[in-house]
Chain A
Amino acid sequence: MAPVKLANVRKSFGAVEIIQGVDVDIVDGEFLVLVGPSGCGKSTLLRMIAGLESISSGEIAIGDRVVNDLEPKFRDIAMVFQNYALYPHMTVERNMGFSLEHRGHSKSEIAERVQWAAQILDLAKLLDRYPRQLSGGQRQRVAMGRAIVRNPQVFLFDEPLSNLDAKLRVVMRAEIKSLHQRLGVTTVYVTHDQVEAMTMADRIVVMNGGKVEQIGTPLELYDRPANRFVAGFIGSPAMNFLPGTITRAGFEAGGVTLPLPGPIAERDGQDAVYGIRPEHLALDGEGLEAEVLLVEPMGSETQVTLRLAGQQMIAVFRERISARPGETIRLRPDVAAAHLFDAASGARLN
Chain B
Amino acid sequence: MNGELSPRMKVVVYGLMSVLLIPFVFPTWWMVTSSIKPISDIFAFPPEIVPSRLDLSTYAKVFELQPFAQQYWNSAYIAAVVTVGTMLFSSMAGYAFARIRFPFANTLFMIVLLGLLIPSEVTIVPLFRIFLSWGMVNTHWPLILVPIFGAPSVFATFVMRQYFIALPVELEEAARVDGLGRFKIFRTIALPLARPALGAVGIFTFLHSWNLYLEPIVFLSSPEKFTLPQALTQFTDAYGGAMWNIQLAAATMTAIPVLIVFIVAQKQFIEGLAHTGLKG
Contact = CB atoms under 8 A, between A and B. Distances in A.
Contacts of A317: none
B171 interface: yes
Interface stretch (A56-64, A73-81, A209-217): A73-81
A87 B179 CA distance: 14
B177 A50 contact: yes
Contacts of B176: 51-52, 71-73
B168 A79 contact: no
Interface string A83-103: 101111100000000110011
B214 interface: no
A73 B179 contact: yes
A85 B179 contact: no
Contacts of B171: 85, 87-88
Contact of B192 (A79, A85, A89): A89
A87 B177 contact: no
B177 A72 contact: yes
Contacts of B193: 88-89
Nearest to B193: A89
Contacts of B179: 72-73, 99, 102-103
Interface in A143-167: 146
The range of chain B's interface size is 10 to 19
B4 interface: no
B225 to A, nearest CB: 42
B48 interface: no
B184 interface: yes
Nearest to A102: B179
B60 interface: no
A90 to B, nearest CB: 9
Contact of A73 (B168, B170, B180, B189): B180
Majority secondary structure of chain A interface residues (helix, strand, loop or mixed): loop
A85 B173 CA distance: 8
Nearest to B170: A85
Contacts of A83: 168, 170
Given A83-B168, A85-B171, A88-B193, A98 B177 contact: no
Contact of A52 (B168, B173, B184, B192): B173
Majority secondary structure of chain B interface residues (helix, strand, loop or mixed): helix
B121 interface: no
Given A83-B170, A85-B170, A87-B189, A73 B184 contact: no
A314 B177 CA distance: 46
Instruction: Pick from B179, B184, B189 the residue with the most CB of A within 10 Å.
Output: B179
A73 B178 contact: yes
Given A87-B189, A89-B193, A77 B177 contact: yes
B166 interface: no
Contacts of B180: 73, 102
B177 A102 contact: no
Interface in B165-213: 168, 170-171, 173-180, 184, 189, 192-193
Interface string B21-47: 000000000000000000000000000
Contact of A99 (B170, B178, B192): B178
A78 B177 contact: yes
A37 to B, nearest CB: 22
Contact of B184 (A86, A102, A146): A102
Interface string B142-181: 0000000000000000000000000010110111111110
Nearest to B189: A87
Interface in A33-51: 50-51
A85 B177 CA distance: 11
Instruction: Pick from B170, B173, B174, B184 the residue with the most CB of A within 10 Å.
Output: B174
A226 to B, nearest CB: 34
Contacts of A77: 177
A103 B173 CA distance: 17
Contacts of B192: 89
A232 B179 CA distance: 41
Interface string B72-96: 0000000000000000000000000
19 contacts: A51-B176, A52-B176, A72-B179, A73-B177, A73-B180, A79-B173, A79-B174, A81-B173, A83-B168, A85-B168, A85-B171, A85-B173, A86-B174, A87-B171, A87-B189, A89-B193, A98-B178, A99-B178, A146-B174
Given A87-B175, A102-B179, A102-B184, 19 more contacts: A52-B173, A71-B176, A72-B173, A72-B176, A73-B179, A77-B177, A79-B173, A83-B170, A85-B168, A85-B170, A85-B171, A85-B173, A86-B174, A87-B171, A88-B171, A88-B193, A98-B175, A99-B178, A146-B178
By Cβ-Cβ distance, the 4 closest A-B pairs, closest first, are A99-B178, A85-B170, A73-B179, A85-B174
Interface of B: 168, 170-171, 173-180, 184, 189, 192-193
Interface of A: 50-52, 71-73, 77-79, 81-83, 85-89, 98-99, 102-103, 146
